[in-house]
Amino acid sequence: MATVAQLLAMRQQLTAISDTAAVDVELLLCHCLQKPRSYLRTWPEAEVADTQQQQFQQLLQRRQQGEPVAHLIGERGFWTLDLQVNPSTLIPRPETELLVEKILQLFAADTTTELLDLGTGTGAIALSIASERPQWKIAACDIQPAAVALAETNRQCTGLENVCIFQSNWFDQVQVRQFNVIVSNPPYIDVNDENLNVGDVRFEPLSALVADNKGLADLEMIIQQAPDYLARDGWLLVEHGYQQGPAVSNLLLSRGFTEVFTDQDLAGHDRISGGQWWRG
């Protein structure tokens, strides 16, 4: 039987396809062992059962073919939550946590706030905010039935009762028109973007990735329609591509939003923008 240390050394097999080969191998091995990552460091000489080793090697081979680790183990950590994932939605990414951080900064902890998350996918944004603000009323929607089902599963697993998840094509089935904040991580990649052929996105649904008009079509629609659903002084916040900050800011300003901003991710790239709506 191989030891934990020997199996971790197999990270070399992933260096050609992953910038996080060491982390990938740790997550795969933890999944097979049903142990936390701390176990790997505490017991490097522990022997791994043959069945677990076989499972690990099968997952490692699939990872070598490019399959995302999140799909292989069925979950991804986001904010403080462990969320179930599957190929029907985007895999939650650390950059999207910026939206959660910004919303928590904009509203005091003791406020009673209504929030709408458009295109919720796994429910990552809505559920993360719900975990921090249990007194808020949160609605989250997605056009894909499979995404709605997954988000509801995550809601039940996290035990968060202040979130309502439903199916809607953006605003089509949204009834409330007085949200204090609307947030979205919509499709924003141009259909001809060469990055669609590399990395994890090859295994994610194109409908959740690409948009017309150089990736801006869904962002334009959300910015145009959001004021009809915002309360006085309400905020709209969206994620976008690293080259789209100026264009999204212009869209917000042209629609009449004030206090328009663009914030950068940890890599220094424009990642989220937003503005406040002053209802007359």
Mean pLDDT of 261-276: 97
Hey, what are 232's tokens? 């006085």
Beta-strand runs (E) in 55-211 = 75-78, 81-84, 114-118, 137-142, 163-167, 179-184, 189-190, 210-211
Q: Residue 197: its pLDDT value, please?
A: 85
Residue 228, CA atoms < 13 Å, CB-side half-sphere: 10
* Confidence tier at 177 by pLDDT (50, 70, 90): confident
- Residue 228 makes CB contacts below 8 A (sequence gap 6+) with 171, 177
- What does each C-alpha distance from 149 to 88, 89, 97, 101, 158 come to in angstroms? 10, 11, 22, 26, 14
- What does each C-alpha distance from 25 to 45, 78, 81, 144, 182 come to in angstroms? 16, 19, 21, 32, 37
Mean pLDDT of 80-101: 96
Residue ranges of domains in the chain, CATH in brackets? 4-66 (1.10.8), 79-277 (3.40.50.150)
Average pLDDT, the chain: 95
pTM given for the model = 0.93
Mean pLDDT of 144-167: 98
Report whether pLDDT(280) > 70: no
At 275, the amino acid letter reads G
* Strands 75-78 and 189-190, bridge-based pairing: unpaired
